[in-house]
A and B are shown apart, each in its own frame.
Chain A
Amino acid sequence: MKYIDEFRSGELASGLAAAMRRDASPEREYRFMEFCGGHTHAISRYGIEDLLPPNVRMIHGPGCPVCVLPIGRIDQAIRLAREQGAILATYADTLRVPASHRLTLLRAKAQGADIRMVYSTSDALSIARAHADREVVFLAIGFETTTPPTAVAVLTAAAEGLRNFSVLCNHVLTPAAMHAILAAPGGVPLDGFVGPAHVSTVIGSAPYEPFAEDYGKPVVIAGFEPLDVMRAVHMLIGQVNDGRAVVENEFTRAVTRAGNLRAQALVAEVFELRESFEWRGLGTIPASALRLRPEYAQFDAERRFTVPYRAVADNKACACGEILRGEKRPQECKIFGTVCTPENPIGSCMVSSEGACAAHYTFGRFREAAA
């Protein structure tokens, strides 16, 4: 595939690996967090850790929307489908996230709830048009990449006067989560971030500048292909060696400083900041998520139905919280790969293919076995 295969070249990867070996100082350790699950997945899938110098360590971040969605949010969606009789439309990623009472959306569906997987928000709108006598709720999750399509759906529904469509909004914000990680007392020590790929196509590179300026942490925005990640780590090594901390952009083919202004305007039209939002693993973070503006209240499932959010504690044995904060590696969780597997996930990090646990289970653990 054009503009994908080139960025997976093994030949270029060995060259970049040599450049990193040459430039990484053996005198020190380098600890970089890749914020995004997309990067976590690429690092595991392509064995990038094997190509890094031994003193460069990648720490997995919380940038996996499925992983940071707390149990109580999935419970809300299940209650909408079961108690309100709504058709619940959602992306595939959320269907297997563990909820309360050993339920998932998929199990609730098997028990009769009308839950439907959609590829796009436009599919959710089509369901609403085809079932004018039913309430159709779109369970919206995701970072800034996935928010603009939800905004377009709300605006389309408003323009069409679609009265039976609403959104259960769980859109969250990347910079707020990065701030939470850096501000956490006793948090994991970091020398820099591999910054988001497609989030940054929307918000641009400017929102990361405070992390460089205020926290002195280098940020290098990187695409999701393996060469992108390697080049970004190489750029981070360079910044650390030089004692610099600035925002650099490896993903220039898709990211500008300002980002996608049209998408930003649509998001601002439909959404406003929530005062706070509970994240799995990171706790309640102020101004870290979005809700619909009052002008679009009729499309806001939380206003339209009585399904208050109730916080639910995670399974005690599950270390998703520590893993999402970068404090533990997946293999350090007691139930990793035994009780908790991708077929039977206990924690959310084992659900999505970009979750740190699922990525390590699928690819990384074989490295350990071979070592």
Chain B
Amino acid sequence: MCLAIPAVVVELLDGDSAVVDLDGVRKQVSLALVEHIAVGDYVIIHVGFALQRLNVDEAEQTLALMRQLGSDALGGASAIGALP
């Protein structure tokens, strides 16, 4: 029920809405719950509404930390490479 997915904003429309793209699937969503959204931003979509902007820097940092933790725990022997 609370499921929501990140999608990139490709076009801003009148009336506080936008077109988002999710792997080629385009959909119109409401921006009524968020502020200062620009084309190229990732937003988290839930039941046709953008709930929050996705912080891209934080996403990358979280992944880097996960990679480091795993690499340390595996003793560096099989260091986990960067994702494609």
Residue of A nearest to B66 (CB): A12
**Tally of chain B residues near chain A (CB < 8 A):** 42
Q: Name, among B23, B52, B55, the residue most crowded by chain A CB atoms within 10 Å (CB to CB).
A: B52
**Those of B20-72 within 8 Å (CB) of chain A:** 22-23, 30, 32-35, 42, 44, 46-49, 51-52, 54-56, 58-59, 61-63, 65-67, 69-72
Q: Name, among B8, B63, B66, B69, the residue most crowded by chain A CB atoms within 10 Å (CB to CB).
A: B66
Are B73 and A149 closer than 8 Å at their CB atoms? Answer: no
Min CB distance, A7 to chain B, in Å?
Answer: 8
Are B55 and A12 closer than 8 Å at their CB atoms? Answer: no
Give the number of A-B contacts (CB < 8 Å): 158
A12–B67 alpha-carbon span in the complex (Å): 6
Interface-located stretch among A15-23, A25-33, A128-136: A15-23
**Those of B70-84 within 8 Å (CB) of chain A:** 70-74, 80-81, 83
Are A12 and B1 closer than 8 Å at their CB atoms? Answer: no
B1, B69, B74: the one within 8 Å of A234 (CB): B69
Q: Name, among B2, B8, B47, the residue most crowded by chain A CB atoms within 10 Å (CB to CB).
A: B2
Are B33 and A64 closer than 8 Å at their CB atoms? Answer: no
A130–B19 alpha-carbon span in the complex (Å): 24
Q: Determine the main DSSP class of B at the interface with A.
A: mixed
**Those of A1-42 within 8 Å (CB) of chain B:** 1-4, 6-7, 9, 11-12, 14-16, 18-19, 21-22, 36-38
Q: Name, among A21, A93, A253, the residue most crowded by chain B CB atoms within 10 Å (CB to CB).
A: A253
Min CB distance, A255 to chain B, in Å?
Answer: 8
Are B46 and A152 closer than 8 Å at their CB atoms? Answer: no
A6, A16, A119, A253: the one within 8 Å of B47 (CB): A119
Are A66 and B1 closer than 8 Å at their CB atoms? Answer: yes
Q: Name, among A38, A145, A255, the residue most crowded by chain B CB atoms within 10 Å (CB to CB).
A: A145
From known contacts A146-B46, A149-B49, infer whether A15 and B69 are also in contact, taking CB-CB under 8 Å. yes
- Across-interface contacts of A234 in B (CB, < 8 A): 69
Are A15 and B2 closer than 8 Å at their CB atoms? Answer: no
Are A146 and B1 closer than 8 Å at their CB atoms? Answer: yes
Are A4 and B5 closer than 8 Å at their CB atoms? Answer: yes
Min CB distance, A1 to chain B, in Å?
Answer: 5
**Tally of chain A residues near chain B (CB < 8 A):** 59
From known contacts A2-B6, A12-B80, A16-B69, infer whether A352 and B1 are also in contact, taking CB-CB under 8 Å. yes
A169 at interface by CB-CB < 8 Å:
no
Min CB distance, B32 to chain A, in Å?
Answer: 5
- Across-interface contacts of A9 in B (CB, < 8 A): 83
From known contacts A16-B69, A149-B48, infer whether A142 and B58 are also in contact, taking CB-CB under 8 Å. no
- Across-interface contacts of A6 in B (CB, < 8 A): 59, 63, 83
Min CB distance, B53 to chain A, in Å?
Answer: 8
B1, B33, B52: the one within 8 Å of A91 (CB): B1
Q: Name, among A18, A202, A234, A352, the residue most crowded by chain B CB atoms within 10 Å (CB to CB).
A: A18
Interface-located stretch among A259-267, A303-311, A322-330, A332-340: A259-267
Min CB distance, B22 to chain A, in Å?
Answer: 6
- Across-interface contacts of A224 in B (CB, < 8 A): 2-4
Which residues of B pack against A, CB within 8 Å? Answer: 1-6, 8, 22-23, 30, 32-35, 42, 44, 46-49, 51-52, 54-56, 58-59, 61-63, 65-67, 69-74, 80-81, 83
Give the top 10 A-B pairs by smallest Cβ distance, nearest first. A15-B70, A120-B48, A18-B73, A19-B73, A253-B59, A145-B2, A253-B58, A201-B52, A252-B58, A3-B6
- 25 interchain pairs, CB-CB under 8 A: A6-B83, A15-B71, A15-B73, A15-B80, A16-B66, A18-B73, A19-B70, A21-B73, A38-B1, A38-B2, A38-B3, A63-B2, A142-B2, A143-B1, A149-B33, A152-B32, A199-B2, A201-B4, A227-B66, A231-B66, A253-B55, A253-B56, A255-B52, A260-B33, A266-B33
